[in-house]
Chain A
Amino acid sequence: KQEVTQIPAALSVPEGENLVLNCSFTDSAIYNLQWFRQDPGKGLTSLLLIQSSQREQTSGRLNASLDKSSGRSTLYIAASQPGDSATYLCAVSSDYKLSFGAGTTVTVRA
């Protein structure tokens, strides 16, 4: 069974600092890895999807890397803003089924 771990569980940074969120998974036989954002009481918004053959994906201030062989992904958020405060979840897909980590809750202080 795929196990996904996210460290740290929570993170508080001052505005402008770069954020680094980590995700690890136990089974490297994946199709892709996705990073989601979840705001309190809301559903999940997909941020980035990295296919298993790719090493990284970028969207604006977000950059995600994938090292499939070591079972790790990192999400970087540059120049954080208070609006980035949310819970960030990573999920790996082995076929159609997503296996999620418990998330990292980020607070960006103004």
Chain B
Amino acid sequence: GAGVSQTPSNKVTEKGKYVELRCDPISGHTALYWYRQSLGQGPEFLIYFQGTGAADDSGLPNDRFFAVRPEGSVSTLKIQRTERGDSAVYLCASSLVAGGLSDTQYFGPGTRLTVL
């Protein structure tokens, strides 16, 4: 079946602009996660959705970052007033249920964001 998809695959924007990154999870997966990966580093947790609600947004770096999942499927990560330090690969993952001993997160290919 189809995996996690993310669009766009690459986004180049100018400092101060607004961007939206989209994630389509695996059908039937109730849990959705956003991570950010900087060059040479492992991914860092940003936010976790269970259904439509953000159950944990403790990883969002500041209030310029916001994410929604209005119908419990597709999610959009929104970044306002982008800064050069926001440049990274943004990864989305989904899982059937969140947490637990055997919970496996399936990752999308990521969106590479470059802020000039």
Across the interface, do A52 and B110 meet the contact criterion of CB distance under 8 Å? Answer: no
How many chain B residues sit at the interface, stated as a range, is 20 to 34
Interface of B is mostly: loop
Q: With A96-B33, A96-B56 in contact, do A101 and B42 touch (Cβ < 8 Å)?
A: yes
**Could you say which residues of chain B place their CB within 8 Å of the CB of A95?**
98-99
Which residue of chain A has its CB nearest to the CB of B91? A43
Which residue of chain B has its CB nearest to the CB of A4? B42
Across the interface, do A100 and B101 meet the contact criterion of CB distance under 8 Å? Answer: no
Q: A97 contacts which of B4, B56, B109 (Cβ < 8 Å)?
A: B56
**Could you say which residues of chain B place their CB within 8 Å of the CB of A43?**
4, 91, 107-110
Interface residue B20 (Cβ < 8 Å from any Cβ of A)? no
Residues of B within 8 A of A (CB): 4, 31, 33, 35, 40-45, 48, 55-56, 59, 91, 93, 95, 98-110, 112
